[in-house]
A and B are shown apart, each in its own frame.
Chain A
Amino acid sequence: MKNVWTLARRELSGYFATPVAYVFLFFYLVFMGVMPFALGGFYEREQADLVPFFQFHPWLYLFLIPAVSMRLWAEERKSGTVELLMTLPVTLWQMVLGKFLAAWFFTGLALVLTFPMVITVNFLGKPDNGVILASYIGSFLLAGGYLAVGSLFSASTKNQVIAFVLTFVVGLLFVLAGHPFVLDWVTGTVPAAVTDAVRSFSFLTQMNTISGGVIDVRALTYFGSLIVACLIGSGIVLDMKKAA
């Protein structure tokens, strides 16, 4: 565990030693701040909640999260430091976990910095802060899911652009699986059970459950198993590269 912490700290310090962290945080907060007002009808709805804010998270994460995850392994491979890392006395799992946790913590930090939204809505009315907290947890889990997918693709290539694009596309599939656009099309052609399965695999569906204020076991299991599966996948890919 100590090694995981050491690796995570190094990874995190890498974000802040370069403009990466600041550019990311800046645009993250700009998008997160503008969307609810520009497209979400935050004022027009005249409701004291943050639905117009959280509904954009799955879409914004689509391109913001791959920007964080693409460098996880691809950069190490490109600069050759992966050779240094892998010949140090740390296990593959400590590396995979340390890097993932650093990235997750970083996106968590970005999320926490959106707190003025909470202040604003509390100033304007009396929102259900329990729902807001649940939505934040949901958004954090969602970021973890995306990041784990991104870790897998970053481990597969030394090209960050490829890692970004693959993560984006797979993330899009996960989001769209719950979009009416896809569901309407699926509903007509396959049995209802399949439709339900497709829907339950979607980030949107899982986020909607949590945004209702209920963090149920299914959502936790869903994101938990997605993260674990993708991290194991990252480890396997890295181990395969060793034998290549």
Chain B
Amino acid sequence: MIEIKHLTKDFGSLRAVDDVTFNVRRGEVLGFLGPNGAGKSTTMKMLTGFLAPTSGTASIAGHDIENDGMAAKKKLGYLPEGAPAYSDMTPAAFLEFIADIRGLTGDKKKARIAEVVRLVHLEAVLHQSIDTLSKGFKRRVGLAQAILHDPEVLVLDEPTDGLDPNQKHEVRALIRSMAPNKAIVLSTHILEEVEAVCTRAIIIARGKLLFDGTPQELLSRGPLDEVFRNITSTPSRAAVS
């Protein structure tokens, strides 16, 4: 469902993403791991068509994001870094706007909005302007927006950042429940999250893909944080399975 081939991004002389290639199939939840500034968000921005790659291609459900962007974006739900939303709107108005753009109408629209509001628990703040919401609620508004049209491909940049432990647990359960019918990529720097929700893990550092395998493979190498440190701190020991 997601195909990334030799994706590279230069910002001036800095190579933020360096020849990254991977695929995600339906039913997979791919955890995107890496230290801050590793290139996780940049890769996601290219995959979702916000940034144009310096070289390489990305496609969603068979549609190239650069050449066939509209078709690709229709199949995509995206939670950008920091969960941006129009702060002067209420979650209700914001979701209405997204539903209109997504082409949802009438009863279908009402039903989908009600459904996502229930899934991410927005009932209490539905008519309160977004800039007055806590970080956790803002994140959930972003998540609601991403899953509103029940997309086949879901790209989530740090979906549980700013949530309390209970909310984290709920969002992870939500992601797991959606997993069978979608291809999901999520970035995180919480290592336990990979174990909890992901069927596959990728580690990138300094723009390079250093590990691609199951969470079990990662765990079998020892304590997760130690393995992570080993992989991301020694550029020469690329371990791609």
Q: Which positions in A face B, CB cutoff 8 Å?
A: 3, 6-7, 10, 13-14, 17-18, 79-81, 83-84, 86-91, 242-244
Contacts and interface: CB of A to CB of B under 8 A. Distances in A.
B101 A84 contact: no
B88 A88 contact: no
B100 A80 contact: no
Residue among A17, A89, A91, A243 with the highest chain B CB neighbour number at 10 A: A89
Residue among A79, A81, A87 with the highest chain B CB neighbour number at 10 A: A87
Given A13-B93, A83-B80, A89-B74, A6 B101 contact: yes
Contacts of A13: 89, 93
Interface in B91-126: 93, 97-98, 100-102
A79 B84 contact: yes
Residue among B70, B76, B80, B101 with the highest chain A CB neighbour number at 10 A: B101
B45 interface: yes
A17 B101 contact: no
B49 interface: yes
Contacts, number: 63
Interface of B: 11, 45, 48-52, 70, 73-74, 76, 78, 80-82, 84-89, 93, 97-98, 100-102, 129, 145
B73 A14 contact: no
Name the prevailing secondary structure of the B interface residues.
loop
Contact of B49 (A3, A7, A87): A87
B89 A87 contact: no
Contacts of A84: 78, 80, 84-85, 145
Contacts of A89: 70, 73-74, 101-102
Nearest to B65: A87
A86 B49 CA distance: 8
Contact of B52 (A80, A88, A242): A242
Contact of B98 (A86, A88, A91): A88
A236 to B, nearest CB: 14
Contacts of B51: 242-243
Given A79-B84, A86-B49, A87-B76, A6 B70 contact: no
A87 B78 contact: yes
Contacts of B80: 80, 83-84, 87
Contacts of A83: 45, 50, 80-81, 84
Contacts of A88: 73, 98, 101-102
Nearest to A243: B52
A6 B100 contact: yes
